[in-house]
Amino acid sequence: MRTVLTLLLLAGPVAAQTIPTPTGTTTPAATALQVTAQPGTLVEYAVRSTSHLDVNDVVVTALPGSQVSQDELTFMQAFMGGLFKEVLSSKTAEANLSKQFVKVLPALPDGRPVLLDSAVHSDGKKTLQTRVTRAIGPDGTLTVLDVTSTDADLQAAIKANRTQALQAFLPMGGSVYGRPLTPGTTWTVTQDLDAGVALSSAFGDRTMQGTLRAVTTRTFTGLNERGEAAFQVTSVVQPGVLRLRNQAGDLSITVESMVSEGQETYRADGLPSTSSSRTRGALRMTLAMDDEGVQVAMRATIDSAQTSTAR
């Protein structure tokens, strides 16, 4: 379950998204950000992430129709309350992506530049490599051409519904490219995050159902001292419910609140330079354990941060 909470924080890069025409103000005469880096250009990033999870208010109740006695409930309340807090709650944990980079590939016949985003993540037990190939249109429209992963469950989800999976790897908040920019320019993008794709690597063939809606606001703040385009980014995930059903029982995750705030910069050639974000959220989880005849409810708060810097 701890993996679920971590993936919820990362759902932006791997969630099915419907991106409408953004709203905001633009100045036609302003310069738009475009990818002008030559094919073969490779940028590697140093990535650092931290996360802190607290679990509270663990309550055990009998499922309707179960034969659990009050003494058993009292015991399970004490046992599971301590167990879930010990297993899920943690001190601040640090993790580093082993490798993350962006490579410029040859342009498509129609002239659209193509970027390959790759990341290799290791938690000491499992290594996951994901490669996403995207094309960028003159107006900034992003098209995902291909996605591959060394995670068998995630790769199976990609093959099972390729169209949805390709959409799933559009970046959170849409594109910064092709948009006339002046300092203070702001636009908002609303996206639907499909939990089935986002959490496929956590549950394998057990499908998580549910969609969360995220509203991302990006503001162009101007050029920094290195001449890079700088943006302020805020994403708010609206309250919603995710559900998982398997042979052991039902898991329901209610997202009460989740807000991510950060900054990002882009080089003059259009490639990402730096990014930083902090995400804070509150979740309420309910786990129905059919074999034991009980339901466990708890509340969790999450605080995570991530920075990425071009080497």
Under the banding of pLDDT at 50, 70 and 90, the label for residue 22 is very low
Question: What's the structural domain count of the chain?
Answer: 1
SS3 17: coil
- What pLDDT does residue 84 have? 75
Please compute Rg for the chain using Cα positions: 21
Q: Domain limits at 9?
A: 2-35+45-97+172-310
For residue 92, give every residue at least 6 positions away whose Cβ sits within 8 Å of its Cβ, in sequence order, or none.
Answer: 50, 51, 52
From 6-10, 11-15, 243-247, 259-263, the region with the lowest mean pLDDT? 11-15
CB 166 within 8 A of CB 17: no
- What pLDDT does residue 27 have? 37
Q: What is the pLDDT of residues 58-72, one digit of tens each?
A: 899 999 988 888 999
- What pLDDT does residue 97 have? 58
Q: CA separation (Å) from 309 to 55, 130, 215? A: 32, 19, 25
Under the banding of pLDDT at 50, 70 and 90, the label for residue 188 is very high
Identify the bridge partners of residue 2 per DSSP, sorted by sequence position: none
Residue 282 lies in a domain: yes
Residue 162 lies in a domain: no
Query: Dihedral sign, CA of 205, 166, 18, 299?
Result: positive
- What pLDDT does residue 211 have? 84
For residue 74, give every residue at least 6 positions away whose Cβ sits within 8 Å of its Cβ, in sequence order, or none.
Answer: none
Q: What is the pLDDT of residues 243-302, one digit of tens each?
A: 887 666 788 999 999 999 999 999 999 999 999 999 999 999 998 988 888 999 999 999
This prediction's pTM:
0.81
Mean pLDDT of the chain: 81
d(CA 217, CA 232) in angstroms, rounded, equals: 8
From 146-155, 159-168, 229-238, 273-282, the region with the lowest mean pLDDT? 159-168
Under the banding of pLDDT at 50, 70 and 90, the label for residue 307 is very high
Identify the bridge partners of residue 72 per DSSP, sorted by sequence position: none
d(CA 197, CA 191) in angstroms, rounded, equals: 14
Residue 107 lies in a domain: no
In sequence order, what DSSP letters do the residues of 23-44 get, joined into one string? EE---TTSPBP---PPTT-EEE
d(CA 57, CA 267) in angstroms, rounded, equals: 46
Residue 166 lies in a domain: no
Residue 261 lies in a domain: yes
| Of 283, 235, 233, 277, residue with least CA distance to 259 | 235
Q: Which residue has the higher pLDDT, 159 or 41?
A: 41
Residue 14 lies in a domain: yes
Record the tokens describing residue 184, joined without a space: 């203070």
Residue 140 lies in a domain: no
Residue 129 lies in a domain: no
Q: CA separation (Å) from 263 to 9, 119, 306? A: 17, 20, 11
Structure-token match 């320019």, residue found = 185
Count other C-beta atoms under 10 Å from residue 222's C-beta: 13
Per-residue pLDDT for 20 more than 60? no
Please tell me what DSSP assigns to residue 51. E
